[in-house]
A = this chain, B = another copy of it.
Amino acid sequence: MEKVNFTDKFSKFDDLWSPKVVSELNDYQFKLVKLQGDFIWHSHADTDEAFIVIQGSMAIELRDRTVNLSEGEMFVVPMGVEHKPRAENECHVLLIEPTGVVNTGDSQSELTAENDVWI
């Protein structure tokens, strides 16, 4: 039951594509993640997933279009929709999704991060 300062929390880690939990809301979690480069195509069969850009810019590729997001913008990837996040330069993002969601969804990969890591 402490407030979260995003800048402070982002200063505590450097690894990419590895979401860190900073708060919970009922059975949902708020996770901070640093992105750079290309992620993999994946989807989440059971849930939507919210991306809010805190710093920098990124793209979320969908099969039929690309959503470009900059600081102060958000997008919700609907349940079951394949997506591939990417960022040319390091981008800081807040994710909101149910507790237990794995970053690579249905696509196990070397990019699959340890889940439920708090900072």
Smallest distance from the beta carbon of A87 to chain B beta carbons, Å?
15
Task: Tell me whether B25 and A76 are in contact (CB under 8 A).
Answer: yes
Task: Tell me whether B4 and A74 are in contact (CB under 8 A).
Answer: yes
Task: Tell me whether A30 and B50 are in contact (CB under 8 A).
Answer: yes
Return the chain B residue nearest A77 by Cβ: B1
State the number of copies, please: 2
Describe A's contact surface by its main secondary structure: strand
Please, which residues of chain B bring their CB within 8 A of the CB of A96? 25, 28, 96
Residue-wise, chain A 39-74 has the 8 Å CB interface mask toward B (1 for contact) of: 000000001111000100000000000011100111
Task: Tell me whether B76 and A23 are in contact (CB under 8 A).
Answer: yes
CA of A7 to CA of B71 in the docked complex: distance in angstroms?
10
12 contacts between A and B (CB under 8 A): A3-B68, A5-B73, A24-B48, A24-B76, A25-B49, A25-B50, A26-B47, A26-B98, A28-B96, A30-B50, A30-B74, A54-B72
